[in-house]
Structure formats: structure tokens, C-alpha cells
Amino acid sequence: MSFIADIFRHSPEIALFLSLALGYWVGKFQFGKFQLGGVAGSLLAAVLISQFGVQIDNGIKAVLFALFIYAVGFESGPQFFRSLGRHSIREIIMAAVLAISGLVTVVVLAKVMGLDKGLAAGIAAGGLTQSAVIGTAGSAIEKLGLAADEAQRLQANVAIGYAVTYIFGSFGAIIVCVNFLPWFMKRGIRDDAVKAEAEMLRGARVYGVGEAPALPDLVGRVYQIEAAAGKTVTEAEALGPGGTVTIERIKRDGKIIGIDAATTLQSGDLVLIVGRRTGVVGLQDRLGSEVAGGEGMELVVTTRDIVVQGKEFVDHTVAQILSASGELRHGIYVLAVTRGGSKQQLANDTVIKAGDIVTVHGVQEDLQRLATRVGPEIIPSDKTDFVFHGLGVALGLLIGLAVVRIGSIPLTLGSGGGALLSGLVFGWYRSRHMTLGNLPTSASTLLRDLGLAGFVAVVGLQSGQQAVSTILQSGLPIFVAGVIVTILPLIITMLVGRYVLRYDNVAVFAGALSGSRSANPAFGEILDKAGNSVPTTPFAITYALANVFLTLLGPLIVAFV
């Protein structure tokens, strides 16, 4: 045992990564419908490993958490700012209900159990996992005019209450938000996340890695010209329903020939027709018989995103653009238009705005021709723009240092709130300027997963030994009080959310509930269950409010207990 402790003392990072490995391994096991998950498992593993007396630098925790919360904000920035307004009133009420119910729960428990002001504030800080309460409660205690030794005793009790209750404060929120809430709603987080994403995409299907539709919308076919002999390329393309096909290649007498709009088709020519399936399939009567293909008829087509910036397209309707850009559109098929991360319906009266992202399909030559007139092409890349994101994280941490005082009460976003706010703003800016700030999905996922799991593991390594020893000595009543403070406000807020605020989507509900408790470990598990970013927007709103509301509990508890 001393040998292991010595290893951890010389290299505490081993304890950190061992906590992650053991935690994610334990988190895979299912007990009925209950599953710990990697984040809760890492916390539990870290508490066990902390009994060897691991000392790990506090800066590691701050860096990991900043990476996690910035990545979350960056992904949800466009949706967050679109959702602000009357639609966010439910999230405001959720955060207020949890803070008020948390305050009442702590005050009542303190009266019933005879807790002093310090222990009550510490239980609130740990049970609600709001570390800022320690600072605000400590400042309030200093202003009570007590003797110096009594004030120090109460402030020490704040730390004791926090240490005993913080571990379950994180763990309990996961149980309620990730396991109990879906059971209560009788629906799964993943199913409702998929449903909500489908509504946001307006029916568009998003395919995962390795997935592709069995019946793609855009296809290519090779026809041998018979009925269309003597027609020009333009006339033959018009034979497709609605003119939805283009001739991309002609093979005559065994050779590929150059083509233009006036090229005349001859009997026996092989032509490669590309277009939407409804127009390409079934042209035998109009062109000639369909053949399997032929050497040299292969053609590479590409799907690209282009940012709309050209003056001839901005603030024009789709119908106006289509009527004015016939030659430019040749060989180009528009798959979708996205604005601020949200799919737009391609109706004739849809107005195209500057910064809209047009997803188009065609051969590279046609796409390049289009990009020169419409706007810059977004080139897919697996490189992260570290200039953009390094600045984003730095600004977020700088914002987190700011302190605003209301009377004697200091209010601050902290590093987490600052990084979240910066991530939201930088994510929104990226949605308006898509050539900046590239962050591949795989990189963002790594930041979220490693950041959150590493953060809770450091928390477990730092406070696990003290919490366990305090509970074994005299802290069981304090621990029980912390369990009540963790669970009861969440249950009350959940009931208000369901029956008063009428939340019916479990993924959205879980995000709002975890954010109203600033429960980052629970939110990480919710994201993992959801498989998309649907829970992020409600979480971002309630999390920002919770950082303010819960911070205010410190002096209020000192005043009422």
C-alpha cells in the first residue's frame, strides 16, 4: 500500500488517468435499467483512489473544466441565442424554483437538526455543488460581528459540510437527471433527443459515420442514345421532369468527347446523366435504353457547403435566384440551406440572407464556378483553429475573474460561467463566419469527455479522503442532510417542470434540470445519452442563471439559520 501511495505522490497524474480508466470500465455495467456511466464511475473511482492520499494541483481541475464548458458553449452558441426571449421563460422559472427550494430545504434541515450557520452553508455548497457558496457564506459570517474564534469555527464548518456532501452532490444529480427523470417521464433521453433534432432539421436526415441512404436523392445513370438522337445537350436535359437532370459526359465511338450546351447527340452515344432520382430514373422512352456503364464514364461528384455572400443572392427569394442564374446553376443541386445552425425550408418565397450556408452537390468544376459568384467554399478539415479557440478560452477565463458586488454580496461567473459565455459567443460568431474557428466534431467530443470526466476525477481525488474520514468519524448526519439537499430540490423542480411548465421532451427537460442545479457531471451524462446537442441550449440558459441564484444562497442561509 505504501508503495502505491509513493507512486501517486511522485506522479499524481497516474491516479487521474487510472480513475478515468476504472471509472469508464465500471460505468459500462448495467444494474437493471440503472447505469453509472463514465463520469459518475470516474468520480467513484477517484474517491477510492484518493484514500492513498493523492495530492493533485488545483490548476489541472480548472483547465479541464474550462475545456469542457467552452466546448459545450461553442456547440450550442447558435441555438442558444436563437432561443433567448419569451421561449426561455421556462428555464428562468426552473432555475428560480431550484434555488428557492434549495434554500428552504437547507433552512428547515438546519432548524430540525440544530445545525449552525457554517455547517448549513457548507451542506448547501456541497449538496448543490455550488462552490461559490463557500465564499459568499464566509464573507457573510465575517460581517456578523462575532468573536474571531467563533467566526473561524463557523467558517471551518462551511468547509467540513462542503467536503462531506460534495461527492454525493455530484453523484445524486446524475441519478435524478439521468436515471430517475426518464423513468418518471416513461421515455428515454435518446429517443426524445432524436425526435427534437428531427424537428430542428425540418425533416432532413443526418447520417452517422459509415451510414448512407439506400435510395440516395442524387444519382447517376448511363443511357445509350436512341430516341434523343439529333437533340442538343440542352434539349436532352430538358427531357427530365422539371429539367432536373444534367448531361455530364458523352462517349462516342469509344472516346470521351468535349461537350457544351449546343453539342448534338448522335445515335449510339453513351451519356452520363446526373440529377435527382425522380428525374434520372425512367428516361428510356425519351433518351434510349439504360446500360450498366462503360469505361471512362465514371465521374466524381462532391458535396460542399458554400457561404452566401454575393450581392446578387443576398436578400433575394429562392424563386428570384433560380430565374436569374440558369447557366450558373447548371450541374448544381442544392441539398439544404442552413441559417445559424438551423435548416431552412426551400420554398420559392424563402429569402436568402448573408451568411446562410448552402449545401450543394455537383462536380468540382461546377462547384468552383458557383463559389466564385456565391461566396467562399467551406473546405472540410480535421485541423482545429487554435488561434480562434485559444483566444476564446482565454477571454472566457478573463471574464470569469470579474466580480460585481451587490451591497456586500460578491457575484462572479467564475471560470466555468466565463468559459461557457465565451463558448456561446464564439460558437455564434463561427455560425456567421464559417471560414473561421474550425473545430472538428471528434476534437469537440474529446474536449467535452476528457474535460468533464477529468474534472470530476480531480474533485474526487482532492476531497474524497477528507469526506470519507469525516463521515466515518462524525459526519453521518451531515452526509444524510447533504443527500436530502441534493435530491429534494431536484425532485421539486422536476415536478414543477413537468406539471406546471409542461416539459414533455425528456432530453430538453434533463438539460434544463441539470443546468438549474449547475450539475455539470449530470449534464455530461445527459449529452452522452442523447447523442446530440439537443439538451445543451436549455442547460446553457439555466446554468448561467443558477450560477447567480445559487451563489446568493450563501448570505441568505447565514441570515435565516
Kind and range of the H or E element at 343? strand 342-344
Q: Is 150 left (phi over 0), alpha (psi -120 to 50) or beta?
A: alpha
Rounded to whole angstroms, the maximal C-alpha distance in the chain is 105
Q: How far apart are the first and last CA of the chain?
A: 44
Neighbouring residues of 59: CB distance < 8 A, sequence distance ≥ 6: none
State how far the Cα of 6 lies from the Cα of 53, in Å rounded to an integer.
9
Residue linked to cell 459568384: 373
Quote the pTM value: 0.66
Cell of 89: 421563460
Q: Which residue, 396, 354, 397, is CA-closest to 376?
A: 354
Residue 259: what pLDDT?
83
The radius of gyration of the chain from alpha carbons, rounded to an integer in Å, stands at 30
Cell of 377: 467554399
Q: Give tens-digit pLDDT for 383-400.
A: 888 999 999 999 988 987
Q: Percentage helix, strand, coil, to 5, in the chain?
A: 60, 10, 30
Cβ-based neighbour number of residue 362 at 10 Å? 24
Q: Give tens-digit pLDDT for 131-169.
A: 767 766 776 787 777 887 787 778 777 767 877 887 788
Residue 286: what pLDDT?
86
Residue 35: what pLDDT?
63
Kind and range of the H or E element at 275? strand 270-276
94 three-state secondary structure: helix
Cell of 498: 413537468
256 three-state secondary structure: strand
Residue 496: what pLDDT?
94
Q: Do 558 and 106 touch, CB atoms closer than 8 A?
A: no
Which amino acid would we find at residue 426? F
Cβ-based neighbour number of residue 557 at 10 Å? 28
Residue linked to cell 434549495: 102
SS3 sequence of 397-443:
HHHHHCCEEECCEEECCHHHHHHHHHHHHHHHHHHHCCCCCCCCHHH
State how far the Cα of 212 lies from the Cα of 233, in Å rounded to an integer.
31
Neighbouring residues of 392: CB distance < 8 A, sequence distance ≥ 6: 70, 74, 422, 423, 426, 437
Burial class (CB in 10 A: 0-12, 13-18, 19+), 12: middle
State how far the Cα of 479 lies from the Cα of 167, in Å rounded to an integer.
10
How would you write the pLDDT of the chain (561 residues) with one tens digit per residue?
A: 778 888 888 888 898 999 999 988 987 887 665 566 777 678 778 888 888 888 888 788 888 878 887 887 787 677 667 656 666 788 889 989 999 999 999 999 999 998 888 889 889 988 998 876 776 677 678 777 788 778 777 877 776 787 788 778 888 899 999 999 999 999 889 888 888 877 766 555 665 556 677 778 788 889 988 888 888 888 888 887 755 688 888 888 888 888 888 889 989 889 888 888 878 888 888 888 888 877 777 777 778 888 887 777 777 777 666 665 666 667 777 777 777 666 777 676 777 777 778 888 777 777 777 777 777 777 777 888 899 999 999 998 898 788 777 666 666 666 766 787 888 889 888 877 777 888 888 888 888 888 878 877 887 787 777 767 766 776 788 889 999 999 999 999 999 999 999 898 999 999 999 999 888 888 888 988 888 778 888 888 888 778 778 877 888 888 888
Q: At what angle do helices 189-200 and 520-530 cross, to 10 degrees?
A: 70
Cell of 154: 463557523
Go through the domains of the chain in sequence order and give each one's CATH number. 58-204+386-560 (no CATH), 226-287 (3.30.70.1450), 309-374 (3.30.70.1450)
232 three-state secondary structure: strand
| Distances, alpha carbon 202 to alpha carbons 193, 304, 344, 530, in Å | 14, 20, 8, 19
State how far the Cα of 552 lies from the Cα of 93, in Å rounded to an integer.
16
Residue 403: what pLDDT?
73
Q: Do 91 and 512 touch, CB atoms closer than 8 A?
A: yes
Q: Is 202 left (phi over 0), alpha (psi -120 to 50) or beta?
A: left
Q: Give tens-digit pLDDT for 223-242.
A: 988 888 888 888 888 887 75
Residue 293: what pLDDT?
74
Beta bridge partners of 298: none
